[in-house]
């Protein structure tokens, strides 16, 4: 049995399947067990890692599977993803908590003990060695770095992310 390391190539999206956003994943034959347990993968888009949550995966044989990503519900939406490579997320500082937990953080409410409710998570943006949470606060985009000093607690049931924002962060983003 081969154990895949974080950041390792899993496979490539080869074509669409059906009309509801499913795709065919041609994968490394040694990664079937890992694929069945993985709920977050990175696609290499324009040479940058972009996180995608797996809605479901159905192993077809030793080297292919049907895969569907959360919030991708049509053939049109997934056509642009065909040909992209898929990797396991790397466990880099500040990001490991997001990747180790099964978090679908879009829609979570960001709150700070001194500032109150900041806004709702619009997306998680991954840059090399750095991720940020994109939040709309009073109609303005706020980018909150993902690290252990800022992210204090994640309550999956209440869909709340407690943060401790550094002084002036909200002003920097305006």
Domain boundaries, the chain: 9-87, 96-172
What strand order describes the sheet that includes 116-127?
140-145, 130-137, 116-127, 109-112, 160-163, 151-155
pLDDT at 90: 54
- Indicate left, alpha or beta for 138 from its phi (over 0: left) and psi (-120 to 50: alpha): left
pLDDT at 143: 86
- Can you tell me the distance from the alpha carbon of 58 to that of 1, in angstroms, rounded to the nearest whole number? 20
Q: pLDDT by residue for the chain (174 residues), tens digit each?
A: 333 344 577 889 999 998 899 999 998 887 777 777 777 888 877 666 777 888 889 989 988 999 999 888 899 989 989 998 888 765 433 444 444 343 468 889 999 999 999 999 888 877 656 778 889 888 888 888 888 788 888 887 888 999 999 888 777 654
pLDDT at 22: 95
pLDDT at 48: 67
Which residue bears the tokens 């991708």? 72
Question: 102: buried, middle or exposed (CB in 10 Å: 19+, 13-18, 0-12)?
Answer: exposed
Structure tokens at 22: 């499913």
- Can you tell me the distance from the alpha carbon of 13 to that of 46, in angstroms, rounded to the nearest whole number? 15
Structure tokens at 102: 């099964």
Q: Which of 78, 73, 70, 67 is nearest to 102 (CA)?
A: 70
pLDDT at 53: 84
Model pTM greater than 0.85? no
> Which helix (H) or strand (E) element contains residue 142?
strand 140-145
pLDDT at 85: 87
Helix, strand or coil, per DSSP, at residue 123: strand
The domain 96-172 is placed in CATH, from the list 3.40.50.11740, 3.40.50.300, 2.30.30.240, 1.10.150.110, at 2.30.30.240
Give CATH for domain 9-87.
Answer: 2.40.30.60
Q: Please answer whether residues 155 and 103 qualify as being in contact, where contact means their C-beta atoms are separated by less than 8 angstroms.
A: no
Please provide residue 11's backbone torsions phi and psi, each rounded to the nearest 5 degrees: 180, -165
pLDDT at 47: 66
pLDDT at 44: 73
């Amino acid at each position: 049995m081969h154990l895949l390391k974080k950041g390792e190539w899993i496979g490539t999206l080869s074509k669409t399947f059906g009309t509801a956003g499913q795709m065919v994943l041609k994968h490394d034959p040694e990664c079937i067990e890992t694929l069945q347990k993985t709920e977050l993968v990175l696609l290499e888009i324009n040479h940058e890692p972009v996180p995608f949550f797996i809605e479901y995966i159905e192993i077809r044989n030793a080297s292919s599977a049907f895969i569907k990503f959360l919030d991708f519900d049509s053939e049109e939406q997934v056509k642009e993803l065909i040909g992209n490579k898929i990797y396991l997320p790397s466990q880099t500082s500040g990001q490991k908590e997001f990747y180790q937990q099964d978090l679908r953080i879009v829609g979570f409410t960001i709150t700070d003990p001194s500032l109150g409710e900041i806004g709702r998570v619009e997306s998680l943006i991954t840059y090399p060695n750095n991720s940020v949470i994109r939040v709309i606060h009073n109609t303005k985009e706020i980018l909150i770095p993902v690290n252990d000093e800022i992210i204090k607690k994640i309550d999956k049931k209440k869909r709340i992310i407690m943060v401790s924002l550094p002084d002036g962060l909200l002003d920097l983003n305006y």
